[in-house]
Amino acid sequence: MSLELMAANLDLQGRADRVAHLDPDSLKKAALRAARDTDAEGLWALLEAYLVTRGGRGARVSVNTLGAYRTGLDTFLAWAAPAGVSLLRPGPNAGFRYVRHLEGAGLAPSSVRVRLSAGKALYAALRWTGACEAAPFLDVRAPGDPVPRWEKRKPYSTDDVALLLRHAGMQDAVIVVLGAHVGLRATEMTTLLRKDLHLDAPEPYLTVTGKRQRRQEVALSPTAIKVLRTWLAATPNYGPRVLTIHTRQSVENALKRLCQEAGVRYGGREVHGLRHSAGTRIYSESGDLLAVRDHLRHRTVDSSEIYVDYARAGRKKPVGDW
């Protein structure tokens, strides 16, 4: 784990411990006050402390998860008061009403699931503090998604990736190869450190900190090596991280702008579509799901099966010459 990441985790753990260290009466009073005043910052401090202290990932909870839960908390609070819902006495149908509201607002089923998880965590935190016993989301289920996984965020084709690289500046080219060749997620790109690039190894690779803070090695293609060497040589004093942009939104904006310049469709693919390009190409060229699993660092081969569908979608239909 990098020193930067360790510092962030210690800071997170310190904030959580300051809340968890309160005596039961003080913790309860703080929660009651935050809920009564609909104090978003106060409620977030309690929720964050609960996730770190009692959650399955503890202090290793990811930045993405925390960000999603914070957004979920803010979304729920914005809905609750106008909907006549008391935080401490939400009523038996509040959870169902909230999910129906999210569906009516047009959120994708996956987004509804994340918001629902945040709502469940909020009330778990309030019960932890002793502020209330309510569990309005206990029996609430997010709707199923009728759209197959492979119909969402499709991969960029090999020709699309080549076109993006022809139009890309040096840093944009790094983003493209980190996604479409190495298979990194946007957040993994922004947190990648220069010291974790091993371009002179007999078989060049990089070491990435992925989901659940797992550190894994990923092989580099000749194209990725060339792009990375060019970037590192041009930016020797740019700090410990590979990229100069450090947020997922900045990466998304950069790729969207590049797609517009290159005439490549961005919508429905976004940054994660580059990762899908890597997995699809590996499976198309090797027919080996284990190779996809290893390169994309999936926990199980089940997560890799989607690339069979992506690869098949690009093939000629069997009835094409009938």
| 269 has a pLDDT exceeding 60 | yes
Q: Give the mean model confidence (pLDDT) for residues 82-102.
A: 95
List the structure tokens of 236: 């020797």
Q: What pLDDT shows up at residue 220?
A: 97
| CB-CB neighbours of 57 under 10 Å | 13
The 10s digit of each residue's pLDDT in 201-248 is: 999 999 998 776 678 999 999 999 999 999 999 999 888 999 999 888
The 10s digit of each residue's pLDDT in 107-129 is: 888 889 999 999 999 999 999 99
Q: Are 16 and 59 in contact (CB under 8 A)?
A: yes
Q: Give the mean model confidence (pLDDT) for residues 76-101.
A: 95
Q: What pLDDT shows up at residue 2?
A: 46
| 142 has a pLDDT exceeding 90 | no
Domain ranges of the chain: 3-140, 158-313
| Whole-angstrom distance, CA of residue 73 vs CA of residue 133 | 18
317 or 271: whose pLDDT is higher? 271
168 or 65: whose pLDDT is higher? 168
The 10s digit of each residue's pLDDT in 45-63 is: 999 999 999 988 887 888 8
Q: What pLDDT shows up at residue 7?
A: 46
Q: Are 77 and 47 in contact (CB under 8 A)?
A: no
| Whole-angstrom distance, CA of residue 281 vs CA of residue 200 | 25
| 317 has a pLDDT exceeding 70 | no
Q: Give the mean model confidence (pLDDT) for residues 6-20.
A: 77
| Whole-angstrom distance, CA of residue 149 vs CA of residue 293 | 17
| 4 has a pLDDT exceeding 60 | no
Q: What pLDDT shows up at residue 306?
A: 81
Q: Are 35 and 45 in contact (CB under 8 A)?
A: no
Virtual torsion, Cα 307, 309, 311, 312, nearest 10 deg: 160
Instruction: Write the DSSP string, 253-318.
Output: HHHHHHHHHHT---TTTTTHHHHHHHHHHHHHHH--HHHHHHHHT-SSGGGGTHHHHHHHHTSPPT
| Whole-angstrom distance, CA of residue 195 vs CA of residue 143 | 44
- Of 68-82, 150-164, 265-279, minimum mean pLDDT range: 150-164
Residue type at position 54: R
102 or 315: whose pLDDT is higher? 102
pLDDT mean across residues, the chain: 89
Q: What pLDDT shows up at residue 320?
A: 64
Q: What pLDDT shows up at residue 214?
A: 77
Q: Return the sign of the alpha-carbon dihedral for residues 149, 152, 158, 161.
A: negative
| 322 has a pLDDT exceeding 80 | no
Q: What pLDDT shows up at residue 3?
A: 40
Beta bridge partners of 198: 205
Residue type at position 12: L
pLDDT band at 181 (very low <50, low <70, confident <90, very high): very high
List the structure tokens of 184: 């990194």
Q: Give the mean model confidence (pLDDT) for residues 263-274.
A: 93
Q: What pLDDT shows up at residue 59?
A: 79
List the structure tokens of 315: 């093939």
| Whole-angstrom distance, CA of residue 176 vs CA of residue 258 | 10
Q: What pLDDT shows up at residue 56?
A: 84
| 250 has a pLDDT exceeding 80 | yes
- Of 197-201, 240-244, 300-304, minimum mean pLDDT range: 300-304
Can you name the CATH fold of 158-313? hpI Integrase; Chain A (1.10.443)
Q: What pLDDT shows up at residue 62?
A: 80
